[in-house]
Amino acid sequence: MLTCNITSCNYLDIVPNETATEEDLFESTEAALRYLYSCYSYLPASENTHTSISTACDEIVSCFGGEPTQLYFRGGYSSSNLGNVEAYYNNSYIGIRQCYLLKQGVTTVPGITQATIDDYINQADFLIAYYHMVLMQHYGPIILVKSLADATTPADQFLARSTYDECADWIAGEFKRLSELLPAHRTGSDYGMATSVAAMALRSRVLLYKASPLFNGNSEFYSDFTNEDGTHLISQTFDRNKYKEAADAALEAINFAESNGYSLYTTADGSSINTTAAPYPQDPVQRRLRLAITDEYSSEILWANTRSEPAYSIQSKSRPFLIWGAGYGTSLKMVERFYTENGLPIDEDPEFDYEGRYGTTVLNDDTRGEGITLKLHDQREPRFYAWVAFHNGFYECKSSRIVSGAQEQVGNGAYWESKERSGGKDQRWLTDFKKTKGNCGKGGRTNNYSVTGYLNKKGVRPDYMAPSTESAPGQDYPKPIIRLGEVYLNYAEACVGYGESSYVQDGMNKLNAIRQRAGIPEVLTAWANAKHPITSYESAVADGRLMDIVIRERMIELYMEGHNFWDLRRWKIAEENMGTLQQGLNVEGDTDEALLQVVTVNQPRSFISPTYYLMPIPNAQISTNKHMVQNPGY
């Protein structure tokens, strides 16, 4: 095991870099444990932006033109131009095979106990289900591998793809079975390994996907998507009861998690990131929002990726510039998705100057910002201030390089002491995006700057120090794979999709708990004062507005957690959101007035519908297996 650079976090980076051989499994109990760890090594590297495509969505604009995932921001991927997608297909099936080999050989390990054998087998089955789930997320219907395949299987006996519903049902069934066998908690060096709570939560996700428009009666896109024998791989007829199944699974997962001590992160009391190490944000709502996923003791995290963070992480690329970074700028589209302080969309709140939102105002608020900025940045909900840095707003993090006095330029990337707003404690900065005179400005760089005039803060620990001599993050934490807040939103979406009144009410209660944690009013309270009021859930279900509210809530709450890339697809709204040019502020401007102009970002964006709704199967797999059909459009 590798040691961790976070005090008391000895569970981090338990997965070895090397892959164990099959012979290693049989040597000793220690070798068997190493082999088990290596089974986890095929988990998608969500912490690595060079290999994870889930950040390639419309939430941010990346300045890193050479970043491999730019292919998915900009379009152009195909079955012969896969970028890093090929690794998902191959690695997931390799991981599945390795898990089956563990199951086959673990009983022969000298001195191993039956309890350990049972636990390893259950963990292997959990990972087999999860790797199938990852494959489905990328490729839709897949080949189900329900047992260890013989490596000498003749090509004419290779399997064909199973239908999407069959895949989802098998995975959900496995997670349900394992929820009765796995422990509810793992601690110490076992943290990050499979639990019953994670199994139940993931089951809710896979069944919600199954109920979603992309896969539930999608004859518009997939009327000709069939196997060789004519079997439709995606259902052609909408089935409302799939939403009921997903809702029941989500509620079961919520009740199971909460009965085992998990809960929404509603207070930062007792956090590992204490007020001495990170006194900001001091606003209690913003603080709990910032720490909900970065506090390694968060009661909300149901399963986490415990590998150490690489240099090319969201945290590194979002931080203000010192020697590199500052390249993940929140898009104007995402900025405008956040609600007003009254919990309404900016175009529905009569108290918000929507038409004048690109005009300027002056902030003088210790929880939001100080100085001239857009009206768009005023009167917004706490999640906006907690997760997005804007011109003359705050970025709560440290810096290892500070310069004194008023600087005309920040050519060395240092922060100005005069821009600090934390009493000389190096904990919070007033962000200034003017080109040469701003501490977060582009300067003369052609890279490592915000393209939009914003910076992402979500996923960046407030005690994080942007270093001046190295690029690897100084503060690490387990990255959530699934958290209770997501399951609350799974439940709300499934309940509204099902549409029965008692389900809708219960689902919205969970969504309102998310809003309450975010410091905004419940849906009906907020929408009673909207320009187009909603006074009952029933009417809003009937006209589709309630599902729109649920979708927007999920986009906001799960911002930068790797969901939007997939959610936009399963909702069948990816083309309109990912196929249009992004906007931001004029980062070439060197005055407040010049900077605070909305411009179109000169980066191509393309989304080919319906082709891009599923990722392409690698060409090699199509060539090898004559029973394998390619996803439509590739």
| pLDDT at site 92 | 96
- Band of the pLDDT at 631, cuts 50, 70, 90? very high
pLDDT at position 408:
45
Query: Between the CA of residue 406 and those of 203, 482, 510, what are the distances in Å?
Result: 56, 45, 49
The single residue listed with the structure tokens 């059909």 is 629
- Name the band, by pLDDT with cuts 50, 70 and 90, for residue 429: confident
Of residues 386, 453, 441, the one with CA closest to residue 414: 441
pLDDT of residue 85: 79
Q: Calculate the alpha carbon distances from 260 to 161, 255, 257, 288, 451 in Å.
A: 37, 9, 5, 22, 44
Q: Are 455 and 389 in contact (CB under 8 A)?
A: yes
First-last CA distance in the chain: 42
Cis peptide preceding 281, ω within 30 of 0: yes
pLDDT digits (tens, 9 = 90+) for 171-204: 999 999 999 999 999 999 999 999 999 999 999 9
Residue 513 is classified by DSSP as H
Distance CA 422, CA 427 (A): 6
Burial of 177 from C-beta contacts in 10 A (0-12 / 13-18 / 19+): middle
SS3 477: coil
Q: Is the pLDDT of residue 358 over 90?
A: yes
What mean pLDDT is predicted for residues 418-433?
78
Q: What distance in Å separates the CA atoms of residue 187 and residue 338, rounded to the nearest whole number?
A: 36
Average pLDDT for 438-444: 90
Q: Could you report the per-residue pLDDT of 484-539, keeping only the tens digit for each?
A: 999 999 999 999 999 999 999 999 999 999 999 999 999 999 999 999 999 999 99
What's the pTM value of the predicted model, to 2 decimals?
Answer: 0.94
Q: For residue 16, what pLDDT band results from cuts at 50, 70 and 90?
A: very low
Q: What is the pLDDT of residues 365-421, one digit of tens each?
A: 999 999 999 999 999 999 999 999 999 999 998 876 666 655 444 444 556 666 777
Output the pLDDT for position 91.
94
User: Which phi and psi angles does 313 have, rounded to 5°?
Assistant: -110, 165
- Average pLDDT value for residue range 149-158: 88
